[in-house]
A and B are shown apart, each in its own frame.
Chain A
Amino acid sequence: MTAASYRMFGIPMEQRRARRRLVVAVYAVLLLFCVGSIVFARTAPMVYNWTIYVTLAAAMLVFGGSGRYGLIKPFPNKPPRPEPAMVDVIRLQLAPMTAGTPDESSWRNDERELSRRDRAHYRAYQVVASAFPVVLLLAALGLKVAQGSLQLAWLTTTTMLQSIFAVALLETVLAMTLPAAIILWTEPDIDLG
């Protein structure tokens, strides 16, 4: 499941409890940013950029799965790009036996890990996909309001567009982080012996 390092912010992450706390903390921060983006959507519309950047940072640097950083190995199960030639030269002098043999444990997922990765994506897909019917219904409702066939005092086209924005933002955050979060949440305690 995890990359070579089992620590995040100096905290050991072998225990499932620790990983669950991390997931909750990350989502609490992301939720805060989402709420801020939605609240300031009219006065400072570019605030949502920060939410996207923070989500990207959380997905790539904390959770992992999409790069060499983070707790989870890269999902694609492909070796990392070869390092520059100068690195090989240095490594040859320090440990010649390692030349040409990249550390597979840092990127290769075994069969169990691939199975868990796929299952996590299946579960995440259900959650992420369920937001799209909501967007369609909100858009359809907005159209009815715009057409004048539905008239309520509090329901305006602007309100509907803001609702769609809120759902889309939450959906984007979940789409970027959820599979890795599911793995971190469900993976049992790691015994390093």
Chain B
Amino acid sequence: MQEGVVIKPVSFKGLQVKTRVQRRVLVVGYYSLLLVAGVVGVVRPGQRDVVTLINFAFFSCLLLGGIYGRGPVKSYTKPILPLEASGGLSFWEKSGDDVQMLGLSGRARRRDDGGSADWEPLDEREQMERDHAHYEAYRIVRWTLGIVIGVYWVTLHWTNSWIAEKLPVLAMVVLVYVLSLPQAVVLWTEPEDVDAA
């Protein structure tokens, strides 16, 4: 794994993320899709399926990495999956039989560990990069949500019932936006020579 760079120089769902242009295309595409999903969710008449909304939100949050080890951005902290913290074994390892859980049958099966197996702590430069990305993301989020709240406050009289009806979809869009923004900042600002080192 490359030292000192938060981005993993890999292809992402078939899309190369080696150059800055490719990374920026990925970011633009990601937020375009989110925008489309939000508009469709708001415009589409009828009742919304809550489970689909939540699944979509959490799946989208993980796509760029950072939180989870499978995206183009390295995981900031070691991904902890259910049961791993208490037992030292990941969720998927628990799917084996009891003998395997006790570690008596040698190496446990590992289908998907979310990147926790090959996870390495971020070095000092990567941590600085991560922290600075969060600082920039914080500023952007504060401004954008401030504007959104301002618009909401001004139009409250006319849009109150509409907002209440569309709240789950809007909350989903905001959630994905906030959780993915630091990773997007990393992808957007990483200099060109990420793959040259």
Rounded to whole angstroms, the CA-CA distance of A147 and B174 in the bound complex is 23
Q: Which residue of A lies closest to B174 (CB)?
A: A132
Contact of A139 among B130, B167, B178 (CB under 8 A): B167
Structural contact, B175 and A140, CB atoms closer than 8 A: no
The smallest C-beta distance from A99 to any residue of chain B, in angstroms, reads: 33
Q: Which residue of A lies closest to B156 (CB)?
A: A45
A124 in contact with B138 given A143-B168, A161-B164 (CB within 8 Å): yes
Contact of B50 among A118, A122, A135, A143 (CB under 8 A): A143
Q: Does B186 contact A (CB under 8 A)?
A: no
Structural contact, B135 and A143, CB atoms closer than 8 A: no
The smallest C-beta distance from A128 to any residue of chain B, in angstroms, reads: 8
A 45-72 contacts with B by CB, 8 A: none
Rounded to whole angstroms, the CA-CA distance of A165 and B147 in the bound complex is 17
Structural contact, B138 and A136, CB atoms closer than 8 A: no
Q: Which residue of A lies closest to B58 (CB)?
A: A133
- Chain A residues, CB < 8 A from B135: 75, 117-118, 121-122
Q: Which residue of A lies closest to B153 (CB)?
A: A49
A-B contact pairs, 7 of them (CB 8 A): A122-B130, A125-B138, A128-B141, A129-B179, A132-B174, A136-B53, A136-B168
Contact of B179 among A132, A144, A172, A176 (CB under 8 A): A132
- Chain B residues, CB < 8 A from A136: 53-54, 57, 168, 171-172, 175
Structural contact, A132 and B175, CB atoms closer than 8 A: yes
A133 in contact with B128 given A125-B138, A175-B142 (CB within 8 Å): no
- Chain B residues, CB < 8 A from A74: none
Q: Mostly helix, strand, loop or mixed at chain A's interface?
A: helix
Q: Which residue of A lies closest to B76 (CB)?
A: A122
- Chain A residues, CB < 8 A from B109: none
Structural contact, A133 and B53, CB atoms closer than 8 A: no
Contact of B47 among A115, A118, A147, A172 (CB under 8 A): A147
- Chain B residues, CB < 8 A from A157: 164
Structural contact, B50 and A164, CB atoms closer than 8 A: no
Q: Does B17 contact A (CB under 8 A)?
A: no
The smallest C-beta distance from A145 to any residue of chain B, in angstroms, reads: 11
